[in-house]
Amino acid sequence: MKVDALRKALKSLPKTLDETYARILLSIDEDYSQDAFRILQWLVYSARPLRMEEMAEVIAIDTEQSQFKSENRLPDPRDLLTICSSLVTTIAVAAEGNDGVSNEITELRLAHFSVKEYLISHRIRNGKAFQYNIQAGGEEEIARSCLQYLLHFERGVLTSGNLNTFPLARYAATYWCRHFRATKDFDQASKFVIQLLQGDTFQSWIRLYDPDAPWKGTDMNRNIATIASPLYYTSIEGLLGPVSLLIEKGADVNAKGGYYGNALQAALAGGYEAIVALLIEKGADVNAEGGGYGNALQAALAGGQEAIAALLIKKGADVNTKGGATAMYRYCK
């Protein structure tokens, strides 16, 4: 009887990796299936490897009520390993903190590259574990979660003294734009963007991460007077939808500020032609002086953006501005 039972057990073992992963997914407790789905989704689409503490914060974001709830934090970040069973693992790596001191941190990663391949494959969509197909909406989910997390930081919530109590803050501030640019459903996420670009939450974002100087790191004591307009930062980050919404709401397209001087030159610096065209259409001054290149035409020529340079000249950019005369001659013929 024991031999028969063993043979039966052996026959029931999964024959392929797909079957193995499907069985693991289907064995996840139903109470934790939603959390498992989000963990796997973030591990597949995150811009960089995530620390255990960062992923634990993700679980505390209530996507249904669109807000972060600290009371929903996992008591122990290591519970993440239990939720996702053998599909995830941890790795210890050295990381340099803001103080320049190297510390060991623990990152949560997928157990094997084949886990990611399976999760985004067509095979899972047509298999038994179809409910764990994370291919659709991954970027949108992370963008919304990052925005919802940042929206928690209203007046006085986030300071240099308590920054470490919000482990996901730096990731959310640094990468939400990247995930937003990769989304297909701009309308749903854009409402959170507009909320973020107001008052304290906007200032917290720029203090956590400055798109003008990302190498500078976090500065929670930054003077408000040194922060440019929301239109400027959305332009430099290439966020066409939010740029359009801000203009509709009355944003000044010629507001001065930032390293590049104004939103037009900020969009030029990033090579975002659609935003450049929109700003010009809405009245941006093509001859406004300021910024690292002096004016928009010089910036376009310096970046080799011939089509934009031609558009600027067509819209009245002064071809006699200092510098770049040889390059500009081509567009004036």
Closest by alpha carbon to 148, among 60, 231, 37? 60
Q: What is the chain's Cα-based Rg?
A: 24
The tens place of each residue's pLDDT in the chain, 333 residues long, gives 455 544 444 444 456 888 899 999 999 999 999 999 999 999 999 999 999 999 999 999 987 777 888 888 888 889 999 998 889 999 998 876 655 567 888 999 999 999 999 999 889 988 888 999 888 788 999 999 999 999 998 877 888 888 889 999 999 999 999 999 998 766 667 888 999 998 899 999 999 999 999 988 899 999 999 999 999 999 999 999 999 999 999 999 999 999 999 999 999 888 899 999 999 999 988 888 877 778 888 888 887 888 888 888 888 888 876 643 333 333 343
Q: Nearest 10 degrees: CA dihedral of 168, 171, 177, 179?
A: -80
For residues 87 and 109, is the Cβ–Cβ distance under 8 A? Answer: no
Cα 312 from Cα 314, distance rounded (Å): 5
The contacts of residue 294 (CB under 8 Å, 6+ apart) are: 321, 322, 323
**Domain assignments of the chain as residue spans, ordered by start:** 11-136
Cα 234 from Cα 96, distance rounded (Å): 29
Closest by alpha carbon to 144, among 36, 233, 42, 267? 42
For residues 109 and 49, is the Cβ–Cβ distance under 8 A? Answer: yes
